[in-house]
Amino acid sequence: MSTENCFSIKEVMNPAERERYLFGELRETLSRAKTDSVYYQQLLQNVNAASIQCREDLASLPVTRKADLIRFQAGHPPFGGLNGVDPGAVARLFQSPGPIQEPEGKGDDWWRMGQAFYAAGFRAGDIVHNTLSYHLSPGGFIMDSGARACGCAVIPAGTGQTELQLQVIDSLKPTGYCGTPSFLKTLLEKADEKGQELSFTHAMVSGEALPESLRSYFQCRGIQCFQCYATADLGLIAYESHGSAGMVVAEDIILEILNPDTCEVVPEGGIGEVVVTSFNPEYPMIRFATGDLSAVAEGSSDCGRTNSRIRGWLGRTDMSTKVRGLFVHPNQVTTIVQRHHGIIKAQFSISHEEGKDRLTLLYESNDQVDTEALEKSIKSVTRLRGETQRVETLAKDDQLIVDERG
């Protein structure tokens, strides 16, 4: 693979050279975080940054878990002390469901998404229709920054309003789509009903699973569809590329696959928790355990990129899960129940039907419950539309979230 076909020359680095580069960045990040971050001052007080030379040394550093962020941030708002600059010095502040606060720094392509869009075929001059939310959560801005890093123009469409979105697509003729795969399918189906041809030729999707059947459906509609794995805390983690099974690990991060119970590195090919170290000075993440499960893919990528690959998202270590691009957390069920008299216990049931995620609150009650008000609570707490269903007995009453998507 020639450097002319890369977004960055880092993508074809010799692996040993990449390791030297990454650990140089890590040492600088550790030194800076010990000075600038309240959280890391305490966590890393006994760590000599200069001594961290390789992955074996990295394994001696403590792990910070995403599952603890809500508690950290409640005790030290807004970012739990992990931030390396004052909150007023960042470009944007977000609040994702949980609630969890995240910052965005002022640098170009701060989320490092350009490499994913470039690998998916997005190029300067493309017009990209971005359907992730720009409201409070960072998804829309994450995608937006990646498309613009490739020289694309972006339509900030956001979520919902399908009819209006079809009008915009018909008028502006975007060649690229980014958002969830289920909403791309919705747009295609609604366009078919209207006899409208969509102008999309390639797509970048995230936030949901992309079954091969759905990818094939897009292919038959003339849309090359690729997916990426990114989070609001870390930005891009891995992405698909032409001619390569699995997902290429993003540049400028260190990715580990650890046993979630022991924090030991799992053997290559084994399933474990995705733990990422990133180097943004505004919000450094050092051995940040995402709660997501994956595994290192064997062999090298056919696309010519030299970084390691993972098999993609393989589940969660905890009960939190992603629905239509947003995380749903167990504590949100508790919050909803507390708002409504008469509910004894409840749980979220998540299914996948006709290419779309379906969120249903199952509940036991000893009194009449205003289901319209209950649905409004689901929307306000999770930012997702959900259904409700009263049941005599919850089938799995020891779980607040039951994911039936398989």
Q: What is the pLDDT of residues 252-311, one digit of tens each?
A: 999 999 988 889 998 888 888 999 999 999 999 999 999 998 999 988 888 899 999 999
pLDDT given at position 42:
96
Among candidates 353, 350, 345, which has minimal Cα distance to 387?
Answer: 350
- Mean pLDDT within 72-84: 96
Q: Is the pLDDT of residue 185 over 80?
A: yes
334 domain-assigned = yes
Is there a contact between 272 and 286 (Cβ–Cβ < 8 Å)? no
Is residue 386 domain-resident? yes
Tell me, yes or no, whether 371 lies in a domain: yes
* Residue 90 structure tokens: 């960042």
Whole-angstrom distance, CA of residue 152 vs CA of residue 128: 7
Contacts of 176 (CB under 8 A, 6+ apart): 122, 126, 127, 128, 129, 147, 152, 200, 201, 202, 203, 204
- Tell me whether residue 269 is in a domain: no
Task: Share the mean pLDDT of the chain.
Answer: 93
Task: Tell me the torsion sign for CA atoms 12, 305, 252, 139.
Answer: positive
Where in the sequence is the domain holding 335, given as residue range(s)? 326-403
Rounded to an integer, the average pLDDT of 51-64 is: 96
Report yes or no on 395 lying in a domain: yes
Max distance between CA atoms of the chain, in angstroms, equals: 67
Residues 196, 354: Cα–Cα separation, whole Å: 21
Taking residues 192-204, report their average pLDDT. Answer: 96
- The whole-number pLDDT of residue 233 equals 95
Find the length of the chain: 406
Residue 8, pLDDT score: 95
The CATH number of whichever domain residue 377 belongs to comes to: 3.30.300.30
Mind giving me the DSSP string for 218-237?
Answer: HHHTT-EEEEEEEETTTEEE
Residue 378, domain member (yes or no):
yes
Phi/psi at 229 (5° precision): -120, 110
Q: How confident is the model at residue 209 (pLDDT cuts 50, 70, 90)?
A: confident
H-run or E-run covering 365: strand 356-365
The residue behind tokens 């170009």 is 108
Task: Give the model confidence (pLDDT) of 360-373 as tens digits.
Answer: 999 999 888 999 99
pLDDT digits (tens, 9 = 90+) for 323-339: 988 888 877 887 898 88
Summarize the confidence of residues 319-326 as an average pLDDT.
84
d(Cα 27, Cα 45) in Å, to the nearest integer?
A: 14
Q: 305 with 274: CB under 8 angstroms? A: no
User: Is residue 254, in this structure, part of any structural domain at all?
Assistant: no
Residue 153 is assigned to a structural domain of this protein? no
pLDDT of residue 334: 79
State yes or no: pLDDT of 78 exceeds 80: yes
Q: Is this prediction's pTM over 0.95?
A: no
Q: How far apart are CA 20 and CA 26, in angstroms?
A: 10
pLDDT the model gives residue 261: 82
Q: Please tell me the predicted confidence (pLDDT) of residue 270.
A: 85
Task: Give the total number of structural domains in the chain.
Answer: 1
Dihedral sign from CA coordinates of 266, 249, 327, 138: positive
What is the C-alpha separation between 167 and 147, in angstroms, rounded? 22
Which stretch of 2-11, 185-194, 196-205, 383-392 has the lowest confidence by average pLDDT?
A: 2-11
CA–CA gap between residue 361 and residue 347 (Å, rounded)? 6
Percentage of the chain exceeding pLDDT 90:
74
Which residue type does 139 have?
A: G
